[in-house]
Amino acid sequence: MIEFDDRLRAIRDRHREAAEDLRSRALAIDADPEAMEPHLDSPAYLMIRESSMPAAHRTSATAAASPDRGSCLENIVGLVELFRGDVGALLACPSPALAGVFVELLGDAAQKERFYRRISDGRTWSFFAMTEAGRGNDATAMETRLERDGSGGWLLHGAKRYIGHGARGGVGVVFGRTGRSALSIRAALVELPVPGWHAERLDMVGLRGAFLSELRFDGLPVAGDMLLGEHLPVTRRGIWGALTTFNNMRMQIAAAAVGTALAMAEYVAEHRKGAPGAEPVAARAEAARHLVYEAAARLDRSPERGYLSSAAKLGATRMAVETAHWAAAALGPAGLLEHPLLEKWTRDVRAFEFMDGTGNIQRLHVARGYRSGDADA
Amino acid sequence: MSTSLRQCERIARDEGLAAGLAMAIAGAEVATTAPGRWAAVPAESVRAGAEVRHDSLAAREGVTFLACQGRPPAAPASLAEIGRLLAAVRLGLVRRLLDHAVEHLSERVAGDEPLIRKQLITGTVADTMAEVELLREQAHAPHDPAALSDLHLRLDELGWQVLTLFGAAGYLADHPARALHVSFLVANTWIDREGVPE
């Protein structure tokens, strides 16, 4: 079990305060994810914006209790608290998000500057466009392609699906392949508006704040200096960065599952005192929280070993769905209609299964990690 | 009530949630029978002017929620019967969507083979049908509240298991798998699980 020092406690407590603000916005964002203006300068969003930007792009001195952007554990400790506020409201916040993690890894100085300058206004969403319809997270089967334009640049053709904030993004990362091998998968920094870009929001069952979208590229021009990783060795340019980013992303989804489960358990305890099963449900959510912390700490030590992060994502997602089923029953007949926040969470938790690798993909990772000795590392 | 479990399962499998729900509650006085403040009913059965709660996903399944008295002084026997019939409806929906999932997974290829041939997927299909066969027998059991509650909790889990077979597509609001999300909400209004130990 991870022992909290003063710094981790301070991070947790600061994020806990912001969680209340997020929760107060949860139902409005779920009902109309396009109406974001009332939320963009909220205390929680300001805090998230400040702590997710590099120092040069912050608008005020960051409080000491902001997570170190390089520490997975510190970020996850903060995120669990924010997700406990509301996962949809948090994901609706304009921030560097996954694209930021990737640009940090693979971007050169000019690309980072361009990316962060664009999103520093707190009103610009970023996107990370990898997934394609029918391909899930199998990046190596990607069909979107980058074709040379004959004058040093590229033209992007293809389509992406389930891309967060795709239809309202301002800048982000789009993956495509320049050839047939896995090493030919590259990522381009794309800033809007740009010709050849077509985007539409998808109507989803839940997690509507994430604004999952469908994208299509029809000869979208990409300048030669907008391919990420050009300054790195060939093996580190594309898919390596994506896989490293996915290890990070997986922890965030696990944290979302834990945070939402904790929220549901607490909600039922508050509204239906003495509900049967409340104690074991809360204990399971707490156990998942500690597992997620442990996996984050292990990822900080060995960023490329994903065994425990896969186990945490698999276990936390399943636990969160079971908690949702229990909570719905515990509030009594028609409880979901009388408690719309809980009803929303029961929809939201079902998104975690397919985000950053389905349960079956995680099962394969866990089994592979176990066979290679990672369970005892 | 003479409607059989088999009929409810069949109509839900063939025609979907709203048709199954209509059969499960046929003949019942909804407003005085339902255990909570709201009860799921087929939208087309609602009289003009009745107080209803709209839900965007449920509406697409042809289901709405009718205001009820809530907490009838003594749960009528017909409520337990509705609970069993609704279980059959949910089993029919699981079959309907499992058929759909198998078709979808047969067309979708990963590596060089259809996903339906992957062992983890085959395992889920088999587990789903084994659970369907078991829960169908459980729905025939005597009207014990704890058993009925357990039956619907297992149906919640079973519906979720089938949903995972669709990946992200099953989370699209206009995908047929939506019926499984809505059936969870429907059961929540008709099954009184309060006070039943986990």
B108: pLDDT strictly greater than 80: yes
Q: Which ipTM score applies to this complex?
A: 0.96
8 Å CB contact of B193 and A321: no
| Least Cα separation, residue B7 to chain A (angstroms) | 25
Taking CA–CA distances from B119, the nearest residue in chain A reads A360
Taking CA–CA distances from B111, the nearest residue in chain A reads A141
8 Å CB contact of B156 and A134: no
Tens digit of each residue's pLDDT (9 = 90 or more) over A84-134: 999 999 999 999 999 998 898 899 999 999 999 999 999 999 999 999 987
This prediction's pTM? 0.95
A98: tokens are: 């996954």
B60 vs A contacts (CB less than 8 Å): none
A193 preceded by cis ω (within 30°)?
Answer: yes
Taking CA–CA distances from A139, the nearest residue in chain B reads B110
B195: pLDDT strictly greater than 60: no
Convert A198-207 to b/e letters by CB count within 10 Å (16 or more is b): ebebbebbbb
CA distances from A143 to A149, A158, A230, B113, B167 (A): 18, 7, 21, 17, 19
**A273 residue type, one letter:** K
Mean pLDDT of A13-26: 96
8 Å CB contact of A354 and B34: no
8 Å CB contact of A350 and B160: yes
The Cα–Cα gap between B23 and B25 comes to 6
Nearest-CB residue to A337 (from B118, B189, B193) = B189
The Cα–Cα gap between A255 and A81 comes to 9
The Cα–Cα gap between A333 and A351 comes to 25
Interface of A with B (CB under 8 A): 131, 134, 136, 138, 141, 161-162, 202-207, 212, 272, 276-277, 280, 321-322, 325-326, 328-338, 343, 346-347, 350-351, 353-354, 358-360, 363-364
| Least Cα separation, residue A334 to chain B (angstroms) | 4
The Cα–Cα gap between B12 and B21 comes to 8
Higher pLDDT, residue B143 or B184: B184
A277 vs B contacts (CB less than 8 Å): 197-198
Q: How confident is the model at residue B75 (pLDDT cuts 50, 70, 90)?
A: low
B158 vs A contacts (CB less than 8 Å): none
Provide CB contacts within 8 A for A240, sequence distance 6+. Answer: none
In B43-169, beta strands by DSSP E? 52-53, 63-67, 109-110, 113-114
Taking CA–CA distances from B120, the nearest residue in chain A reads A360
What pLDDT shows up at residue A1? 86
Residue whose entry in the numeric block shows the structure tokens 């305890």: A269
8 Å CB contact of A334 and B195: no
Going along chain A from its start, the domains and CATH numbers come out as: 6-97 (no CATH), 125-236 (2.40.110.10), 239-376 (1.20.140.10)
Taking CA–CA distances from A337, the nearest residue in chain B reads B38
Higher pLDDT, residue B146 or A157: A157
The Cα–Cα gap between A102 and A209 comes to 22
Taking CA–CA distances from B121, the nearest residue in chain A reads A360
Q: Which of A138, A336, A344, A361 to mutate to test the interface with B (most CBs of B within 10 A)?
A: A336
| Least Cα separation, residue B14 to chain A (angstroms) | 23
CA distances from A203 to A32, A226, A359, B164 (A): 11, 31, 23, 18
Mean pLDDT of B17-28: 96
What pLDDT shows up at residue B2? 53
Alpha-carbon torsion, ordered A249, A255, A258, A263, to 10 deg: -120
Q: Are A308 and B8 in contact (CB under 8 A)?
A: no
| Least Cα separation, residue B2 to chain A (angstroms) | 25
8 Å CB contact of B39 and A334: yes
B196: pLDDT strictly greater than 60: no
- Beta-carbon pairs below 8 A across chains A and B: 121
Q: Are B185 and B58 in contact (CB under 8 A)?
A: yes
For residue A106, list its beta bridge partners.
Answer: none
Mean pLDDT of B77-102: 95
Taking CA–CA distances from A135, the nearest residue in chain B reads B110
A336 vs B contacts (CB less than 8 Å): 185, 188-189
How much of chain B is helix, strand and coil, in % rounded to 5? 65, 10, 30
Going along chain B from its start, the domains and CATH numbers come out as: 5-190 (1.20.140.10)
